[in-house]
Amino acid sequence: MKSKHIFTLLLCFTTSLVFAQQTIIRGKVTDAETGDPVPYATVVIQGTQIGMATDFDGNYELKGEAESDTVLFSYVGYETRKKLYEKGVTQVINVQLQPKATSLADFVVLSDKAENPAFEIMRSVIDNKNKNDKRRLEAYEYESYNKIEIDVDNITEEFRKKKYMQKVTSVLDSIDIIAGEDGKPILPLFISESLSKFYFRSNPRLQKEQIIKTKITGIGIEDGSLISQVIGSSFQEYNFYQNRMNIVEKEFASPIGDGWRLIYDYDLTDSVSLEGEFCYVLDFKPKNDQELAFIGTMWIAKADFGLKRMDATMQPTANLNFIEKIKIQQELERMEGGAWLPVKSRILIDVSEITKKSAGFLAKFYSSNKNLALTEPKPNKFFERTIELEEDARISDEQFWIENRHDSLTTTEISVIAMIDSLKQIPIVKTWTELLKTFARGYVEVGQLDLGPWPVLVSSNDVEGFRTRIGGRTNEHFSLKWQLNGYLAYGFKDKNFKYGLGATHFISRKKWTTISANYRKDIDQLGLQPDGITDFDDANAFVALSQLGNLIRPFAYETFQVDLTSQLSKPFSFSLRLKNQDFTPLYNGFSYYTEPSDITSPTGTEFTSTEATLKFKYAKDETFIINDNSRISLGTVRWPTFILGYTHGFKGPLGGDFDYNKLDVGISQRLKMGFWGISHYQITASKVFEDVPYPLLTAHIGNEQPVYASFAFNTMNFYEFVSQQYVSMRYQHFFEGFILNRIPLLKKLKWRLVASGNVLYGDISESTLAAQPTVDFLSLDPNKPYSEVGVGVENIFKFFRVDFFQRLTYLDNPDIKKRQIKVSFNLSL
């Protein structure tokens, strides 16, 4: 009996030992160059049916016995790898796959009569787009968790040996912790996390993100309000149901866009079950190898032809500068209302090396959305601020993130944070960081002060001779309620000091209500001042050149002005300006009748204007972000911007010499034209109702410089035309690669065509002309517009643009050039 019990025990032990020896293989598949997970990769024991696809985070687990001792790892766009495994044990095998040129074989239909089976599925996808697009839901909300990482990649031995890199060699030697055993080394610069609530309503289409917490670790990047706002889900929105998707400021054609048949080829490769959802697997690739489009695979749910998964990579031959790779991977979930919302997204942008001896950059974005819910639409007032940063959003501890992260930080990400902290302590890194910040901001930060801007530190012109200028402003470390500014300049030829002082009080940062007062005593040039309607954002090079050499109708001025601004609601804002200015011409030939309606009145050469200007702006979907003590507009997406301004000039007790009224209106818009390109137009009009000296009228901005200026008339001379009333239209169309991409010999250059046209109607009344004792400018014929057209080529050597302009009217005016060639430096993707 005792022997029997012993035998039974031995049998049970042996049986349990056999079961314990089952083979279990777990691990993660990552990209050898970026360290990112590779979702949907195939992992299979060679020669068997034991296999699976990795999940969205690149994880896999295999169980089973086989004669083979090899695991195969493969995915489109990567070299297939083999790994040996040990039988009968539980083990971890992590693999890095080496990317190869992303390409798909040509799609072939065997019979001329048989239709490509993928087309029937695609037609159903298009027919059901409106039903499956999340934008058609009345209202929804979700919690969003976002991670962003920026790294230096392609670190060659030659780059490491550079003198300025030798100081960080000790840190670079530990990079294998991040890259993995088979990966390429990367140098991390920045990593961030954010947790937010995202809200959407469809009618009217509005969205809002409330950023609850942010955490930022970066070299030379502080956890400031600006960065905290741009790392949320609002800037990680990728909706393939749009016909065109805006990525790095370029419009990419979606593989499920309305123009699918014109742009893409498709192949039905498989059908699988994903989380109980039967899906068709379709490969797609662009027909034109330079189209801004994708190569990849998508999984389409059979039940409603909604997009379940997407894996899309920019084709490497696309007409795009400095970007080596863009990869978007997305998983979506069907809502109760039928539409599909993304639950996980991963985006990779690989910035190529500027030169062969320099390194490149990787930008990696990850988004996870939870608690997706259909809701009742919130009131429009709730959406007044598109991005709202909670007051304590930048204050958190590690315990908060442990409890609220949607996914734990990986070992790699923990190593990234540690390495960034080490790099920040290296002196040369600190020095270069400060230099780059100074170059980008234009100011040198010294505690609570920003000194600058440095581009105007020195200059030279015919009035002042050599000019030096020092100035500065307080920053957010001084106060978030007040900002003070001032400068002092001196001209060594005219031996005069110029100076200015100012202060701004932030009444409400939520409504962005501010009041400011500024005093200036300086010199300027007639006809180069923005009129409050025209966009002067791209005027830097033009204005800088115009301040050198011979000044155009220079004048000295002493100005005191008070400005009040406020965002009344999401689309509406207003500003009120009270301004008093003394005008003293520094050129010969100007005089005016002190009583413009009486040509027998005395003449003068100096005058004072006192005016109040009220301006309203309507921009339906304009988005702003706050950068400490300034606010930055990101522009509008779909709707035009309207501006209405009214100015009244006061005469008498308030110090002005003239009574006058002026009305300004403007409308501008950026139009997406699909594969045709992008258009910009701007229409402005203005009228001064009384007779006043011509410096108070509108001098249209000409351009005699070789540098192109979008806000100027590029074949018009400086101060050639002045108008009392006018209407103008400026139009530009960027063809991107639409035309030149289709010309065999030219498409290799990746040049892009630009067309432009400017039209101006204007005139001056006879009584206003009579009020000017001397007239050294021209008035437009109200029945004959000034017009010019241009054609340009941009992306020449990736940096330059050349425009040829032809003047069409007023060809008999003296000293004009009917044709002009303008060049510009254009750092464009």
DSSP 778: B
- The pLDDT-based confidence of 623 (bands split at 50, 70, 90) is confident
What pLDDT sits at residue 11? 47
Q: 237-251: per-residue pLDDT in tens?
A: 889 999 988 887 788
pLDDT band of 415, cuts 50, 70, 90: confident
Separation of alpha carbons 60 and 26, rounded Å? 6
pLDDT of residue 62: 92
CA distance 809 to 758: 11
- Residue 534 is predicted with a pLDDT of 58
Please determine, for residue 538, whether its predicted confidence score (pLDDT) is greater than 80: no
Query: CA 208, CA 197: separation in Å to the nearest integer?
Result: 8
pLDDT at 178 over 80: no
Confidence of residue 112 (pLDDT cuts 50, 70, 90): low
Tokens of 200: 């959407």
Does the CA dihedral 702-703-709-715 come out positive or negative?
Answer: positive
Beta bridge mates, 200: 140, 207
Neighbouring C-beta atoms of residue 634, cutoff 10 Å: 14
> What distance in Å separates the CA atoms of residue 178 and residue 174, rounded to the nearest whole number?
8
Q: Strand pairing of 139-153 and 444-446?
A: unpaired
Structural tokens at position 564: 């009040």
Q: Is the distance from CB of 70 to CB of 46 less than 8 angstroms?
A: yes
First to last CA, the chain: 86
> C-alpha angle 7/10/16, rounded to 5°?
140
Cβ 715 vs Cβ 820: under 8 Å? yes
Q: Please, which pLDDT band fits residue 222 given cuts at 50, 70 and 90?
A: low
| 802 — pLDDT class (breaks 50, 70, 90) | very high
pLDDT at residue number 167: 66
Q: What is the pLDDT of residue 18?
A: 43
Q: Percent of the chain scored above 90 by pLDDT? A: 47
Q: pLDDT band at residue 7, thresholds of 50, 70 and 90?
A: very low
Q: What is the per-residue pLDDT across 722-747, written as a single tens digit (0 to 9) for each?
A: 999 999 999 999 998 788 877 877 77
Beta-bridge partner residues of 313: 295, 327
Q: What is the mean pLDDT of residues 119-142?
A: 94
Indicate the pLDDT class of residue 2, thresholds 50, 70 and 90.
very low
What is the C-alpha to C-alpha distance for residues 235 and 212, in angstroms, rounded to an integer? 16
419 versus 706: the higher-pLDDT residue is 706
pLDDT at 22: 81
CATH H-level superfamily of 2-97: Carboxypeptidase-like, regulatory domain (2.60.40.1120)
User: What's the confidence (pLDDT) of residue 158?
Assistant: 72
Domains of the chain by residue range = 2-97, 589-825
| Three-class SS state of 5 | helix
The token pair that represents 498 in the structure block: 């110029």
Pairing of strands 95-97, 24-31: parallel
Tell me, what's the pLDDT at 183? 64
445-459 in b/e form (b: 16+ CB < 10 A) is: beeebbebbeebeeb
User: Which band of pLDDT confidence, cut at 50, 70 and 90, is reported for residue 425?
Assistant: confident
Query: What's the pLDDT score for residue 108?
Result: 60
Q: pLDDT of 193-204, one tens digit each?
A: 999 999 999 988
Higher pLDDT, 598 or 300: 300
Mean pLDDT of the residues in the chain? 86
- Distance between alpha carbon 635 and the CA centroid of its chain, in Å? 10
User: 9 pLDDT exceeds 90?
Assistant: no
- Compute the Cα dihedral for 776, 777, 779, 785 and give only its sign: positive
Decide: 95 and 81 in contact? Cβ < 8 Å. yes
Q: Mean pLDDT across the stretch 819-828?
A: 85
- pTM of the full predicted structure? 0.81
Owner of token pair 């209302």:
337
| pLDDT at residue 43, as a whole number | 94
Q: What is the pLDDT of residue 295?
A: 93
Q: What pLDDT does 104 receive?
A: 61
**Which two tokens mark 787?**
């017009």
Q: How far apart are CA 460 and CA 437, in angstroms?
A: 26
Percent of the chain with pLDDT over 70: 89
Cα 38 from Cα 467, distance rounded (Å): 58
Query: Taking Cα atoms as reference points, which of 76, 59, 74 lies closest to residue 25?
Result: 59
351, β-bridge pairs: 323, 361
Q: How does pLDDT run across 757-777, given as a tens digit for each residue?
A: 999 999 999 999 888 888 888
The identity of residue 787, as a single letter, is S
What's residue 707's pLDDT?
A: 87
Decide: residue 157, CB within 10 A, 0-12 exposed, 13-18 middle, 19+ buried.
exposed
Categorize the per-residue pLDDT at 431 as very low, low, confident or very high, splitting at 50, 70 and 90: confident
**How far is it, in rounded angstroms, from Cα 36 to Cα 20?**
33
In sequence order, which ranges of 156-286 are alpha helices (DSSP H)?
157-160, 169-172, 176-179, 225-230, 260-263
For the purposes of burial, counting CB atoms within 10 Å of the CB of 316, is it exposed (0-12), middle (13-18) or buried (19 or more)? middle
Report which DSSP code applies to 203: T
Inform me whether the pLDDT recorded for 89 exceeds 70: yes
Token output for 484: 């003070």
- Dihedral sign of CA atoms 217, 222, 226, 228 in order: positive
Q: Is 649 left (phi over 0), alpha (psi -120 to 50) or beta?
A: beta
Rounded to an integer, what distance in angstroms lies between the CA atom of residue 39 and that of residue 310?
10
Query: Comparing 312 with 217, which gets the higher pLDDT?
Result: 312
Structure tokens at 216: 């930022």
Q: What angle do CA 564, 570, 576 make, to 5 degrees?
A: 15
CA angle 182/185/190 to nearest 5° reads 130
HEC assignment per residue over 76-142:
CCECCEEEECCCCCEEECCEEECECCCCCCCCCCCCCCCCCHHHHHHHHHHHCHHHHCHHHCCEEEE
CA max distance for the chain: 140
Dist CA 758 CA 749 (whole Å): 29
Question: CA-to-CA distance for 598 and 586, rounded, in angstroms?
Answer: 26
Cα–Cα nearest to 510, from 686, 390, 676: 390
Higher pLDDT pick, 689 / 599: 689
What are 321's two structure tokens? 């500068």
Q: Which of 53, 362, 381, 18 is nearest to 190 (CA)?
A: 362
Predicted pLDDT at 17: 43
pLDDT of residue 187: 80
